């Protein structure tokens, strides 16, 4: 059994994982993910052709497609059996649609259907990334597919809040079906890449609307990073609905709820601030979880990526839900619109020791677009007076490589008249440094999760309007984005769609970008990798 995966920044030697994943993904899991992506593309061909015939497609089918894509994101699903049953469910849905629409003219992909496990395994080994032999087409198809994975994740979070945007589903299914259409040229795929960025903006907007509609607009909040003396439950990942249900069910039960990694921004939403037992944030970015989950002492709930293969010391108190799955771990069920029952986690927490303290103090959070707009006057004054010379957007992901110390050093050494705008778990590289403020405006403004990069896009558009700039690139805003998994690819494509030029992307350029595709990105958008801190600070001016 062999595998090939190069979808994340930590891929082996920045080329591809071929023996096993650096993330811990095993070959059988990797190829089952390949098959799941393939059958999801096949289903997308069917749905796209049904719509072309003027018929509609049920919302549940849209959800199956986004969920399948989401579950293949790095560090979400390590469970081959779970992936296999998703493949079968997808084939079942496709078969039903074909039976109901006998006039469809389908390709061999649209028609493919095998349930025998060995036939599935053989097919799985034929439909991976390397099945596209042309290097540039492969690169663009993967860039589009990864962009759609992130888009699907963001869409799914909105869907669980019962918000849908069918246009996004239509786009992403059409785009997926085009990635298995051999007639697509390199030029067609380049144009589809940019459209994926446009849809990425749409998905982030959909989720922003859903989050703020249900939980209010994030507001400036000091988040406690110390611990209390009651047992706790640690909630990681991005899904706010899961956190809401857990907060509701655990209220008054004598335990505290703590956020971890990408759940930190939840502390800034008015709806969540009402829960007195939401104690604060414990720990740092996803890759430190092995130590932090151990010292937390209580149960952990993983609502999305990034889960890393758990240590035995806490295996019996880590739970998955939603699109996360790991062999042997307990999974809390609950489909879109259904309540989830967290009783088992809450009861377990009551028997656990309180978390061990690993830090004390507070971090400031809650600078999403609405809060920033409320501060617009002081921000604009500070820019006009020269007190703020520049903003630098440092959104994205964190990761475990030492090279990421770059981001800490870069933040620490930035001239004092530059403000960092951040979102995503990349922030943990500098959000606890004492970087001070400019006229009361903190030098690190944290908008929230990676999807809240949307806030920086609309803040940039607002500044363009305020300063009457002809071009968004004329503003004193630079972009130095850190990527790891595929949601950051969506964010990157969204920024490109918005016309942002000269983005620095690090710590390495994606392995899935072929030299020719890199050339296109350099020529059209001026994208470049990072160098060392000193050189990049000189370039920054």
Give min distance, CB of 194 to ligand SF3, in A.
22
Picked from ligand SF3, ligand SF4, none, the partner binding residue 397 (CB below 5 to 8 A depending on kind) is: ligand SF3
- x/- track of binding to ligand SF3 for residues 339-378 (CB under 6 A): ----------------------------------------
Rg of the chain over all Cα atoms, to the nearest angstrom? 23
Picked from ligand SF3, ligand SF4, none, the partner binding residue 25 (CB below 5 to 8 A depending on kind) is: ligand SF4
Q: Which tokens sit at 447?
A: 């908008």
Give min distance, CB of 422 to ligand SF4, in A.
23
Picked from ligand SF3, ligand SF4, none, the partner binding residue 425 (CB below 5 to 8 A depending on kind) is: ligand SF3
Which residues make up the interface to ligand SF4 (CB under 6 A)? 5-8, 10-11, 17, 21-23, 25, 30, 74
Question: How many Cβ atoms sit within 10 Å of the Cβ of residue 530?
Answer: 21
Q: Considering only residues 289 through 318, tell me which ones interact with ligand SF3, judged by CB under 6 A.
A: 305-306
Picked from ligand SF4, ligand SF3, none, the partner binding residue 22 (CB below 5 to 8 A depending on kind) is: ligand SF4
Nearer to ligand SF4, 224 or 236 (CB): 236
Pure H helices in 322-452: 343-350, 369-374, 376-385, 405-413
Are 159 and 214 spatial neighbours (Cβ–Cβ below 8 Å)? no
Picked from ligand SF3, ligand SF4, none, the partner binding residue 21 (CB below 5 to 8 A depending on kind) is: ligand SF4
DSSP label of 356? P
Q: Considering only residues 374 through 413, tell me which ones interact with ligand SF3, judged by CB under 6 A.
A: 397
Q: Which tokens sit at 330?
A: 């307990």
For 416, half-sphere exposure in the C-beta direction (CA atoms, 13 angstrom radius) is 6
From the list 287, 288, 281, the residue with the least C-alpha distance to 266 is 281
DSSP label of 396? B
Rounded CA-CA distance 119/134 in Å is 26
Using CB under 6 A as the binding rule, whether residue 485 contacts ligand SF3 is answered as yes
Are 525 and 501 spatial neighbours (Cβ–Cβ below 8 Å)? yes
Using CB under 6 A as the binding rule, whether residue 286 contacts ligand SF3 is answered as yes
Q: Considering only residues 256 through 275, tell me which ones interact with ligand SF3, judged by CB under 6 A.
A: 261-262
Please, which residues have CB within 8 angstroms of residue 266's CB and are 6 or more apart in sequence? 215, 235, 240, 243, 259, 272, 278
Beta 441-442 vs 437-438: how paired, if at all?
antiparallel
Beta 390-393 vs 318-321: how paired, if at all?
unpaired
Give min distance, CB of 514 to ligand SF4, in A.
16
Picked from ligand SF3, ligand SF4, none, the partner binding residue 366 (CB below 5 to 8 A depending on kind) is: none
Give min distance, CB of 490 to ligand SF3, in A.
10
Q: Considering only residues 446 through 475, tell me which ones interact with ligand SF3, judged by CB under 6 A.
A: 449-450
Nearer to ligand SF3, 262 or 478 (CB): 262
Q: Which tokens sit at 35?
A: 């098959």
Rounded CA-CA distance 435/414 in Å is 9
Using CB under 6 A as the criterion, which residues of the chain lie in contact with ligand SF3 when the complex forms?
A: 75, 238, 261-262, 286, 305-306, 397, 424-425, 449-450, 484-485, 487-488
């Amino acid at each position: 059994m062999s595998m090939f995966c190069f979808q994340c920044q930590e891929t082996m030697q920045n080329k591809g994982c071929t023996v096993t994943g650096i993330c811990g993904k095993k070959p059988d899991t990797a190829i089952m993910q390949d098959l799941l992506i393939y059958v999801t593309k096949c289903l997308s061909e069917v749905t796209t052709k049904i719509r072309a015939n003027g018929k509609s497609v049920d919302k549940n089918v849209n959800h199956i497609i986004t969920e399948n894509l989401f579950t293949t994101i790095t560090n979400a699903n390590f469970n081959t059996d779970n992936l296999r049953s998703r493949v079968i469910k997808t084939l079942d849905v496709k078969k039903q649609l074909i039976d109901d629409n006998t006039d469809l003219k389908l390709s061999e992909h649209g028609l493919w259907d095998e349930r025998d496990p060995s036939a599935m395994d053989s097919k799985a080994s034929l439909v991976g990334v390397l099945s596209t032999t042309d290097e540039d087409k492969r690169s663009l198809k993967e860039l589009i597919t990864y962009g759609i994975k992130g888009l699907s994740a963001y869409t799914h979070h909105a869907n669980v809040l019962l918000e849908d945007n069918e246009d996004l589903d239509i786009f992403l299914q059409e785009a997926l079906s085009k990635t298995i259409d051999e007639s697509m040229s390199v030029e067609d795929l380049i144009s589809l890449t940019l459209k994926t960025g446009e849809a990425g903006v749409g998905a982030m907007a959909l989720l922003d609307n859903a989050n703020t509609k249900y939980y209010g607009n994030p507001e400036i909040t000091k988040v406690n990073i110390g611990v209390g003396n009651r047992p706790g439950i640690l909630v990681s990942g991005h899904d706010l609905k899961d956190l809401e249900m857990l907060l509701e069910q655990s209220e008054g039960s004598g335990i505290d709820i703590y956020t971890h990694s990408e759940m930190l921004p939840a502390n800034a939403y008015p709806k969540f601030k009402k829960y007195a037992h939401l104690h604060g944030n414990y720990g740092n970015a996803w890759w430190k979880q092995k130590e932090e989950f151990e010292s937390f002492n209580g149960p952990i709930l993983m609502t999305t990526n990034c889960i890393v293969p758990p240590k035995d010391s806490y295996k019996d108190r880590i739970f998955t839900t939603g699109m996360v799955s790991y062999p042997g771990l307990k999974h809390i069920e609950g489909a879109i619109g259904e309540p989830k029952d967290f009783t088992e986690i809450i009861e377990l927490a009551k028997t656990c020791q309180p978390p061990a303290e690993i830090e004390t103090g507070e971090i400031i959070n809650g600078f999403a677009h609405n809060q920033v707009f409320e501060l617009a006057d002081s921000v604009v004054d500070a820019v006009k007076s020269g007190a703020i010379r520049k903003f630098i957007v440092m959104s994205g992901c964190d990761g475990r490589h030492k090279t990421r110390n770059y981001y800490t050093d870069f933040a620490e050494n930035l001239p004092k008249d530059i403000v960092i705008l951040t979102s995503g778990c990349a922030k943990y590289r500098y959000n606890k440094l004492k970087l001070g403020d400019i006229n009361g405006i903190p030098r690190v403004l944290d908008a929230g999760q990676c999807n809240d990069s949307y806030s920086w896009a609309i803040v940039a558009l607002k500044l363009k309007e305020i300063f009457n700039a002809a071009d968004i690139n004329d503003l004193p805003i630079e972009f130095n984005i850190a990527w790891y998994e595929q949601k950051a690819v969506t964010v990157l494509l969204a920024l490109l769609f918005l016309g942002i030029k000269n983005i620095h992307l690090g710590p390495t350029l994606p392995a899935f970008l072929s030299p020719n595709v890199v050339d296109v990105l350099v020529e059209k958008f001026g994208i470049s990798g990072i160098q060392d801190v000193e050189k990049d600070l000189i370039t920054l001016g």
